[in-house]
């Protein structure tokens, strides 16, 4: 059911909708006179009044819920109202209970893996799939986990974030997803140079750091140290302050544990670590294969490779390769026959060409780390075309109150 309201000019801009199902990106799918409408700030089964934010497309439209007429049982008071309708991006599920968020993300994963990945809806892996909480998130209601935030100053020098799908800066009063060590309140009260970018980083070792347009505010340091703990094992890393590192404070440990459990690299094995970054997974993999094994790590970003060289310095079994993954696989590592391949590609996924290169070597196990369900599903579909099956899937909510979900998938020969 849907109804259309008219504004004072007689134009339709507010509609009444009943969203049906969650879809990728933090939206719910609804229909308006047969047209698909992607609605934010609502939940499946609710009845809402929504303002159309993009009705220019011939295909789907977009809308923001502005009034809840019949709420879902999973609706809670938003933990971050500034990320609500007409607000900043980055907190699109702030109005959903944590349990509801994890069910939402499971539904999105299952939809992607069936509709795009080609898995049967009744497959046992999908029927038993759950999205688990990261360590500590239940106790803190999924708040205070981000160790890295990026702000931008508006024309009056006020720190904020971009309004969803725009380049308009919205000054912020709060940022509840950030770890307390970042002292976000102080950053938001301060006046900055208009247009400047403010990066705040709270590493696991040492004091927080603030950089303005890439320049440290109070020190000459441009790198931070991170510690990763898994059971009785401990690894330390050096990472560029504005370089890539997992933003959830528990994410590095969660991912290392999950990847090692899926990869199970034996002593003496040959492992490919693709999109290896600064070596988060490379170092634990190197220790797992021992001095008689080999880990080939491929990364295209020069700054990350520089950090990785320091992080793997004591592991002679690691060979670092700088360059695009597909090029290095096709040249330097052509003919290599790995036992295990680990991929942690950018959000867009590895793509068909890389998947084909990897699987042509017939590794025993392929471990694929993904934060985008659609990209994961596309690459799973490519893998299935090349004789591999999705054998296991660990889904963990490393981005509470957002639509993102991290997965560690195990692919094995069918």
Report pLDDT digits (tens) over 69-113.
999 999 999 999 999 999 999 999 999 999 999 999 999 999 999
Reply yes or no on whether the pLDDT at 393 is more than 90: yes
Contact 399, 96 (CB under 8 A): no
Q: Is 275 annotated as a binding residue?
A: yes
pLDDT value, residue 5: 42
Q: Are residues 33 and 170 in the same domain?
A: no
Q: Are residues 266 and 373 in the same domain?
A: yes
Q: Does some domain include residue 298?
A: yes
Q: Is 86 annotated as a binding residue?
A: no
Q: How far apart are CA 143 and CA 126, in angstroms?
A: 28
Contact 67, 59 (CB under 8 A): no
Phi/psi of residue 97, each to 5°?
-60, 155
Q: Are residues 156 and 134 in the same domain?
A: no
Reply yes or no on whether the pLDDT at 10 is more than 50: no
| Residue of 305, 371, 395, 408 marked active site | 371
43: nearest Cα among 70, 16, 14, 79 = 70
Q: How far apart are CA 322 and CA 302, in angstroms?
A: 7
pLDDT value, residue 6: 41
Q: Are residues 129 and 176 in the same domain?
A: no
Handedness of CA 403, 404, 409, 414 (dihedral sign): positive
Reply yes or no on whether the pLDDT at 47 is more than 60: yes
Q: Does some domain include residue 83?
A: no
For residue 364, give its domain range. Answer: 111-120+123-138+250-413
Angle at 54 between CA 349 and CA 194, to 5 degrees: 75
Report pLDDT digits (tens) over 200-229.
999 999 999 999 999 999 888 999 999 999
Q: Tell me whether residue 28 is one of the annotated catalytic residues.
A: no
Q: Does some domain include residue 302?
A: yes
Report pLDDT digits (tens) over 318-349.
999 999 999 999 999 999 999 999 999 999 99
Q: Does some domain include residue 177?
A: yes
Q: Does some domain include residue 97?
A: no
Q: Is 154 annotated as a binding residue?
A: no
Handedness of CA 106, 107, 108, 114 (dihedral sign): positive
Phi/psi of residue 175, each to 5°?
-150, 80
Q: Are residues 130 and 200 in the same domain?
A: no
Q: Are residues 310 and 355 in the same domain?
A: yes
Contact 17, 39 (CB under 8 A): yes
Q: Does some domain include residue 297?
A: yes
Reply yes or no on whether the pLDDT at 161 is more than 70: yes
Q: Are residues 254 and 374 in the same domain?
A: yes
Q: Is 232 annotated as a binding residue?
A: no
Q: Does some domain include residue 102?
A: no
Report pLDDT digits (tens) over 350-371.
999 999 999 999 999 999 999 9
Q: Are residues 132 and 164 in the same domain?
A: no
Question: Could you count the other beta carbons within 10 Å of the beta carbon of residue 26?
Answer: 24
Tell me how many domains the chain contains: 3
Last residue of a domain, one of 180, 210, 226: 226
Give the CATH number of the domain where residue 291 resides: 3.40.50.150
Q: Are residues 258 and 406 in the same domain?
A: yes
Which residues are CB-neighbours of 201 under 8 A, at least 6 positions away? 147, 148, 208, 209, 210, 211, 224, 241, 242
Q: Are residues 259 and 323 in the same domain?
A: yes
Reply yes or no on whether the pLDDT at 387 is more than 80: yes
pTM of the complete model: 0.95
Q: Does some domain include residue 340?
A: yes
Give the CATH number of the domain where residue 33 resides: 2.40.50.140
What is the percentage of the chain residues whose pLDDT exceeds 70?
97
How many residues appear in the chain? 414
Question: Could you count the other beta carbons within 10 Å of the beta carbon of residue 323?
Answer: 15
Q: Are residues 160 and 133 in the same domain?
A: no
Q: Are residues 258 and 180 in the same domain?
A: no
- Integer angstrom CA distances of residue 320 from 50, 96, 214, 259, 335: 51, 43, 26, 19, 17
């Amino acid at each position: 059911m849907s109804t259309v309201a008219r504004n004072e000019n007689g134009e339709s801009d507010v509609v009444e909708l009943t969203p049906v199902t969650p879809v990728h990106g933090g939206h719910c799918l609804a229909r308006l006179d047969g047209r698909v409408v992607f609605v934010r700030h609502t939940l499946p089964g609710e009845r809402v009044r929504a303002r159309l934010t993009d009705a220019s497309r011939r295909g789907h439209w977009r809308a923001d819920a502005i009034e809840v007429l019949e709420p879902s049982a999973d609706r809670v008071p938003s933990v971050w109202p500034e990320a609500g309708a007409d607000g900043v991006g980055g907190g699109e599920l702030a109005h959903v209970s944590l349990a509801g968020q994890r069910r939402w993300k499971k539904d999105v994963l299952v939809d992607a893996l069936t509709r795009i990945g080609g898995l049967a809806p009744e497959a046992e892996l999908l029927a038993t799939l759950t999205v688990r909480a990261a360590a500590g998130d239940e106790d803190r209601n999924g708040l205070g986990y981000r160790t890295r935030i990026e702000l931008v100053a508006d024309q009056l020098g006020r720190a904020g974030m971009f309004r969803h799908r725009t380049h308009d800066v919205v000054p912020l009063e709060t940022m509840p997803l950030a770890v307390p060590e970042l002292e976000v309140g102080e950053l938001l009260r301060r006046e900055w140079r208009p247009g400047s970018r403010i990066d705040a980083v709270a590493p696991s070792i040492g004091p927080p750091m603030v950089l303005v347009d890439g320049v440290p505010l109070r020190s000459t340091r441009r790198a931070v140290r991170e510690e990763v703990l898994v059971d009785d094992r401990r690894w330390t890393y050096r990472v560029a302050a504005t370089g890539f590192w997992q933003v959830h404070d528990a994410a590095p440990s969660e991912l290392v544990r999950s990847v090692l459990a899926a990869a199970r690299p034996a002593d003496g094995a040959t492992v490919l670590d693709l999109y290896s970054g600064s070596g988060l997974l490379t170092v634990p993999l190197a220790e797992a294969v021992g001095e008689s094994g080999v880990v080939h790590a491929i990364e295209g970003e020069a700054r990350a490779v520089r950090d990785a060289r320091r992080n793997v310095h004591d592991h002679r079994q690691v060979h670092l390769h700088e360059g695009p993954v597909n090029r290095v696989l096709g040249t330097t590592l052509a003919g290599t026959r790995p036992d295990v391949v680990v991929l942690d590609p950018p959000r867009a996924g590895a793509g068909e060409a890389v998947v084909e290169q990897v699987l042509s070597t017939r590794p025993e196990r392929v471990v694929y780390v993904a934060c985008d369900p659609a990209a994961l599903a596309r690459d799973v579909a490519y893998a299935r075309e090349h004789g591999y099956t999705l054998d296991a899937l660990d889904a963990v909510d490393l981005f509470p109150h957002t639509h993102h979900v991290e997965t560690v998938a195990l692919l094995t020969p069918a």
